[in-house]
Chain A
Amino acid sequence: DSGVTQTPKHLITATGQRVTLRCSPRSGDLSVYWYQQSLDQGLQFLIQYYNGEERAKGNILERFSAQQFPDLHSELNLSSLELGDSALYFCASSASSGRASEQFFGPGTRLTVL
């Protein structure tokens, strides 16, 4: 158990819908990262927040957005969902930001878009 929690574990929805994935980082960690894992793209970084502020952006679509709240939990919002958005979404957290930060991963949320 990494100490990072993600809810829900599974999510099944239809195209065009909007969903929210939630992540609670390890106690004391200030950084939260979101990654997408799909069969064709592999593991891809989406976005990072550090202490409530956006720190870095990766291959995140404009239909996706995220935020980190004052209690440091984070939410990833996916809208106008397409079949290709079906994937495993991971949240990771670390104590600090930067290259040497050790990231701890949650169990993931499996999103299925029908």
Chain B
Amino acid sequence: AQSVTQPDIHITVSEGASLELRCNYSYGATPYLFWYVQSPGQGLQLLLKYFSGDTLVQGIKGFEAEFKRSQSSFNLRKPSVHWSDAAEYFCAGNSGYALNFGKGTSLLVTP
């Protein structure tokens, strides 16, 4: 079945440290992959997307993600985390019409 998996339920990083959130996908052909962020009490905001082409994609708020077909991964990265980045992050793939979401990774940022 086509799906995405986020292995880490919770991640804690210090403010200013680098961040990498993992996402593994299981899709045939060309996967359409997305990263969304959900702040407490808010809806989901699209950070970035990958359809094809350059495997390193830039998004909003200083985030980037790298598509690695050999590892079936689409990890989200940020070089320096800010306290305002504390939120729930969702990786998603589109199998046809709708988004299939991972379970999410909750990011805690410590001072």
Contact = CB atoms under 8 A, between A and B. Distances in A.
A39 B36 CA distance: 17
Given A99-B32, A100-B94, A43 B101 contact: yes
Contact of A99 (B45, B46, B95, B103): B95
A42 interface: yes
B9 to A, nearest CB: 11
Contacts of B101: 42-44
B28 interface: no
Contacts of B99: 33, 35, 43, 45, 103
Interface stretch (A14-22, A70-78, A104-112): A104-112
Contacts of A98: 96-97
* Chain A interface bracket (under 10, 10 to 19, 20 to 34, 35 or more): 20 to 34
A57 to B, nearest CB: 9
A106 B102 CA distance: 19
Contact of B43 (A55, A56, A105): A105
Interface in B5-54: 32, 36, 42-46, 49, 51
B98 A108 contact: no
Given A100-B32, A100-B94, A45 B44 contact: no
A15 B99 CA distance: 29
Interface in B74-105: 90, 94-104
B94 A90 contact: no
A32 B71 CA distance: 33
B43 A2 contact: yes
A48 B97 CA distance: 8
A58 B98 CA distance: 8
A40 to B, nearest CB: 10
B42 A99 contact: no
A43 B43 CA distance: 12
User: Which of A48, A99, A103, A107 is most buried by chain B, counting CB atoms within 10 A of its CB?
Assistant: A99
Contact of B44 (A48, A55, A90): A90
Nearest to A58: B98
Interface of B: 32, 36, 42-46, 49, 51, 90, 94-104
